[in-house]
Every structure is written in structure tokens, then in C-alpha cells.
Amino acid sequence: MTAHPAPQRTAPAPLIDLQALVAAVRRRRRLWSSLALLGLLGGTALAVLLPPAPTAVTKVLVTHREDQPNDTGTLIRTDVALLGTTRVAGAALRSLGSAERPEDFLEDCTAVGLTNNLLQIEVTGDSDAQAVARAGALARAFVADHVRRMRETAKAEAGALLEQRDRMRVELARVNESIGQQPPTTDPKGAAGVETLYARRAELNSRIADFDQRAAEAGTGTPRLVSGTQIVDAPRALRHSLPKGLATRGGLGLVLGLVMGVALAAVGAVVGDRPVLRRDIAAHLGASVVAELPGRPGRLWRRRATRAARARLVSSLARTVRGSVEPLSLLELGCARTTGAIALDLARTLGREGPVAVVDGLPGERPAGLRRKPGDPDVVGGERAGAVLPQERRIGVGSVAPGTAWTDLRYLGARTVLVVRAGHGSTAWLHTVARQLADQRLPVLGVVLVDPDPRDRTDGTLWDPVPTAPCGPADRADGHEEQGRPNGVPQPRTERLPLRAARVPDDDREVR
């Protein structure tokens, strides 16, 4: 019985990989930039097609008897609430001679307290003149209502004070009557009672004088409050600037569109689960990333670097083909046209040394349909792969996209290089590709990543990759868990352990 070293434990994967999420959102910049542009256009269109309604503004100075320097704004908030009542709105509408409902009128009115005593009123209308008239009527109605309430409060307070004074006068009359009825006496007890009556009369006279003074002050302070409550800024129409409206609404639309686009891109990246970073693609396919190619035509000053990278890739593939007698195949995932172009360039390079044939196994995109040059090697279909002469080098081009006939991949080449577009295949499909290639015993020499993230700093090299072409059943039964050195010490890695492709057992014995 052979003892196997325990498998190395890996750190638990995070629920959401922020680095991969940011890269996926950045790759979907067309989505969120388009939504941001639509938001900008929508905001500017609203500013032009739906301009703000004519608005008039006025300011009212409101005085209160309870004004204190340390007031927190409670009084002015009360005035704002009173302005929004149907009583004030009804009075304003009656002064305008309008049959509009007070509730509808209040929907066009807005009040805000600027300070503890300054109230700003804004009213909209069908025209500037109507808005000015409505704002003035509402302000006058509020001032009249406030003055009326102040007068009623002062009148009620003065009446209460005068009522108290009258009661004191009645009691004073009874005290005076009692003093007049006291007979002259030298008895100490009688003298003490007379002194008590005189003291009570003096107290009542003082309280009556105090009530008279307070009633007079209540009546005197009302005119001051009435004169202090007034319209300090006459109603005027607000002028709306079209450029300012365009900038404001356009900016809001731009921000909303951008936020919505980024949110949709993030949700789509999490739900779609399509690896973008070279680290994840290499781990899920079980093969290292050996080269990268930009997927879109770059700027003019970058096209030379793109052509140089493609030439280096073709040279590397040519050396791989020369170093072995087994045919090589290029299998694409999401980049059929790029893979066909690489195959033709590789065939042209090898065609200078001998006859070369390109076996086309792509489902739709044909290398023969690309722009060919005179003297290019022949391109034959997958059904004619057996007709290639033995002395000719064969380069196969196929696909591992959904719907691929996996058993036909062995006829394209004994070894393969995967050409994968970043963010095209899901994690589940990358696992399927690795499992199917392992079942077909096709070793993967490496992965060519097309359209990578330019800000990707992860390492796509696997130091102990899972062999894509497994050995026989006996070898798999004895050593399918060993990925380290013979003494059980695991080899160093630059990335997390790749996921081993699941395999269906060959027979019942292997199941047991």
C-alpha cells in the first residue's frame, strides 16, 4: 500500500473577488459609458423640452412676541406650516378672484425659512405675471392672518388681565366696606384685625395697578408686532438661464446614467461569472498564459507594437512546430477570426521551409475567407484532413465554443494551443473545455489571451499545472492526487491551485 501526501489546503475563495469585479466592470465600459451618454442627452433634452415653470419669489419679515436670540427656528417652521394651510390659500385665492381649489394652489407654492424671522415664498404660474400676482396674494394673506392672530392673542391676554383686575376691585370694595364698619376700639385684638384689613387693601391696590399696567403693555406691544410683520421683498419673477439648466440637468443625467451603468455592469459581471484576469483563466483551464494579443485595433502609435507582439507569437509557434513531428492545432474560444489569421501567418512562416496545409475546423469563420496573399498555403476543410500528404506539415484550426464536436479535435492536431478571448467564456465552460481536452488526451501547450485587461497585473503562469493528457487508468488511480515532489513537499506556486477537471470513470472497476 502506497501512502500519498495529504493534499495542500488552499485558502477559502472570497465571496466576491474585487479585483476581478473591477476588471470586469472596466471591460464593460461601453455599457456604462453609453448609459452615461444617454443620461446626459436625456437631461439636456428635458432642459430644452420641459423648461421650468414661471416662478415668482417674495420675502416676508415675521415678528413674534416669543422671539429669543437662542431660538432654534421653531417659530419660523411653525409659520411655514401655517402658510401651507387651506385657510391662507383660500384667502389668497379670494383676493385674486380665482375659483381654484386651495389644495391645488398649495401644490404650486413653496415656503422656506431663511432665518428665524425671514420667510421666502415661491409660487409658480402659467406666466410670469400670474406667478407674481399669486405670490403677492399669498404673502399678503399670510401677513393678514399673522396680524390677526397676533391681535387676537393680545386682545385675549388683555381681556384676561382686565378680568383679573375687576375681580381684585370687587374684593377691594369689600375690604373697604369692612374697614368702614370697624368701630373705634382700644382692644389689641381689634387693632390687629384693622391692621390686617389695611394691609390687604394695600396689596389689592398694588395688584390692580399691576394688572392695569400689564393690560396696557399687551395692547401697546401689538402695533409693534403688526408693523414688524411685512413684505420686505416685493414679488418678482425668477429668470431661468438655459445654459445653467442644461448644465444642471445634463450633469444629473450623466451621473445617474453612469451610476446605473456601473451597477448593471457589476451585477452582470457577478451573475455571468466570466473570468477576465489571466490568473483566473489559467487556473480554470489548467494551462499557463504564454502570450497576449490585443483584441481591438489599437491607436496608430500602438499598431506597431501589436504587429510586433503578433510576430513574436508566430515565431514562438513556429519553433514549437519545428521541434516536434506531431501536428499542432489552434483552438479558439471567442476569437475565430484572430485564430484563423494566426494560423495563416504561421503557415506562411513555415511555408518557406516546406509544404504546409491548414486544416480548417472552424464552425463558421473560415481562414480561407480572410484576406489572402498570392502563394499562401492551401486551406482544406476538416472533412479532408485525411487527404493531407504525409510530407506536408499540418496546422489545425478549430473551436472549443459550445456546440463543438470534441471527438474531431484529435484529427486537427496531437497538441494544441488555446486562443481565448478574455471575458468570453464562463467559469463552468472553461472547466468543460479542460475536462473535454483531458478526455481526448490533447495536451495544452499554453493559452494565448486575446483582448486582455491592460491593467491586469496578475500572473497567469502555473508552476505545477494539471496535465491535460492523463495517463492510463492505473496511473490515474495511483497518482491522481500527487501534484508535488516525490518526497511529498509541494512545489512552489505563483497562483492558487487549478481546479482539476472531473472525469467520467472508464469502467466499474475504476468506480470501485
- In the prediction, which pLDDT does 243 show? 87
- In the prediction, which pLDDT does 205 show? 85
Least confident range of 28-42, 131-145, 228-242, 358-372: 358-372
Model confidence at 500: pLDDT above 50? no
Computed over every residue of the chain, the mean pLDDT equals 80
209 — pLDDT class (breaks 50, 70, 90): confident
Give 95's contacts (C-beta < 8 A, 6+ positions apart): 137, 140, 141
- In the prediction, which pLDDT does 14 show? 65
501 — pLDDT class (breaks 50, 70, 90): very low
- In the prediction, which pLDDT does 95 show? 92
Mean pLDDT of the region 409-413: 85
Contact status, residue 427 vs residue 272, Cβ threshold 8 Å: no
> Helix H segments across 330-445?
336-351, 427-439
β-strands 55-61, 230-237: how paired?
A: antiparallel
Distance CA 165, CA 197 (A): 19
Percentage of residues in the chain with pLDDT exceeding 70? 79
Give 142's contacts (C-beta < 8 A, 6+ positions apart): 60, 79, 82, 83, 88, 119, 121
- In the prediction, which pLDDT does 176 show? 82
- In the prediction, which pLDDT does 150 show? 84
- In the prediction, which pLDDT does 492 show? 39
Higher pLDDT, 485 or 8: 8
pTM exceeding 0.95: no
Q: Copy the grid coordinates of residue 63.
A: 415678528
Model confidence at 479: pLDDT above 70? no
- Amino acid (1-letter code) at residue 426: S
- How does pLDDT run across 255-300, given as a tens digit for each residue? 999 999 999 998 988 888 888 888 889 999 989 999 888 876 656 6
- In the prediction, which pLDDT does 37 show? 94
Model confidence at 337: pLDDT above 50? yes
- How does pLDDT run across 162-188, given as a tens digit for each residue? 888 888 888 888 888 877 777 766 566
Higher pLDDT, 238 or 300: 238
Mean pLDDT of the region 140-147: 92
Mean pLDDT of the region 131-137: 94
404 — pLDDT class (breaks 50, 70, 90): confident
Higher pLDDT, 185 or 333: 333
- In the prediction, which pLDDT does 201 show? 82
Of 27-31, 103-107, 386-390, the range with the highest mean pLDDT is 103-107
20 — pLDDT class (breaks 50, 70, 90): confident
DSSP 214-228: HHHHHHHHHHHHHHH
Model confidence at 420: pLDDT above 80? yes
372 — pLDDT class (breaks 50, 70, 90): low
- In the prediction, which pLDDT does 220 show? 65
**3-state DSSP: the chain helix, strand, coil percent, rounded to 5?**
50, 15, 35
Higher pLDDT, 79 or 193: 79
494 — pLDDT class (breaks 50, 70, 90): very low
Higher pLDDT, 6 or 97: 97
Model confidence at 224: pLDDT above 80? no
Give 17's contacts (C-beta < 8 A, 6+ positions apart): 280
Centre a 10 Å sphere on the Cβ of residue 385 and count the other Cβ atoms it contains.
19
- In the prediction, which pLDDT does 41 show? 94
Higher pLDDT, 214 or 466: 214
40-56 core/surface letters (b: 16 or more CB in 10 A; e: else): bebbbebbeeeeeebbb
Higher pLDDT, 48 or 215: 48
